[in-house]
Amino acid sequence: MDIDRRIQVLLQELEGRYGAISWWEAPPEEVLIGAVLTQQTRWENVEQAIATLKEIRCCSVAGVVETEREVIETAVRPTGFYRVKTERLKALCGQVTDLGGVEALAAMPTARLREELLAVRGVGEETADSILCYGFGRLAFVIDAYTRRICRCMGVTVGDAELRRLFEQALPRDAMAYAQAHGRIVEYAKECCKSERGCKTCQVKNLSG
């Protein structure tokens, strides 16, 4: 089975397993913040931090810009690297403010918006594409650790750019389709990739031939 076919079968299998899912349906400003917080941590920790930020009225671009660093650090501590992430949140939200706010970002062409996001220190391709896909409904498939791990298990070991191309080629040109497909990958990884026991029952390995 060639690589293109493996990706297609993976997407079909996961759609059959999970169907339509609700994955990260949140306002753009919350996605901006969550995309930074999710770096190198579990989603459960991000949810805890976002809940705290909402409690202190800081889960917005203006909230991050106006709130003291120490307050934000305390709120996002569960996600790890909390000082670094606070610095990145400040930088990202400052950039968004300088560009005219979320509304101005929403009006930008995708290529320019991605460029502006990547210009912020600490915002890499995964973070930028998460913001594009989930925050602004753009055609940007997210390649993250879950995606790489599952693809390695079925013998697909290409780089991120090629992996992104393979998924985008296999999916309809629709932002919701991208978001749903990535969400199913995350759900499968959370279900099957946490332990050796899950690895033994993994169906993805059957696609490696």
Contact 10, 2 (CB under 8 A): no
CA distance 120 to 77: 21
Task: Using pLDDT thresholds of 50, 70 and 90, give the confidence band for residue 112.
Answer: very high
Q: What is the pLDDT of residue 206?
A: 66
Q: Looking at residues 96-120, what average pLDDT do you find?
A: 98
Q: What is the pLDDT of residue 43?
A: 87
Asked if residue 54 and residue 8 are part of one domain, the reply reads: no
Q: What is the pLDDT of residue 200?
A: 65
CA distance 92 to 108: 16
pTM: 0.91
Alpha helix (H) ranges present in the chain?
A: 3-18, 28-37, 43-55, 61-66, 69-76, 82-98, 102-106, 110-118, 125-130, 136, 145-153, 160-170, 175-192, 196-200
203, with CB counted inside 10 A (0-12, 13-18, 19+), is middle
Asked if residue 109 and residue 72 are part of one domain, the reply reads: yes
CA distance 208 to 173: 26
Asked if residue 128 and residue 177 are part of one domain, the reply reads: no
130, with CB counted inside 10 A (0-12, 13-18, 19+), is buried
Instruction: Tell me what percent of the residues of the chain surpass a pLDDT of 90.
Output: 83
Q: Looking at residues 94-117, what average pLDDT do you find?
A: 98
Q: Looking at residues 159-171, what average pLDDT do you find?
A: 96
Number of domains the chain contains? 2
Contact 29, 61 (CB under 8 A): yes
Q: Looking at residues 49-59, what average pLDDT do you find?
A: 97
Q: What is the pLDDT of residue 148?
A: 94
Candidate from 145-149, 168-172, 204-208 with smallest mean pLDDT: 204-208
CATH number of 103's domain: 1.10.340.30
Domain boundary (118, 136, 154) is at 136
Q: pLDDT tens digits for 174-191?
A: 999 999 999 999 999 888
Candidate from 42-56, 160-174, 191-205 with smallest mean pLDDT: 191-205
Residue 198: domain span: 3-21+141-208
Task: Using pLDDT thresholds of 50, 70 and 90, give the confidence band for residue 11.
Answer: very high
Asked if residue 162 and residue 67 are part of one domain, the reply reads: no
Q: Name residues whose C-beta falls within 8 Å of residue 131's C-beta, 6 or more positions apart in sequence.
A: 28, 31, 32, 35, 117
CA distance 6 to 142: 18
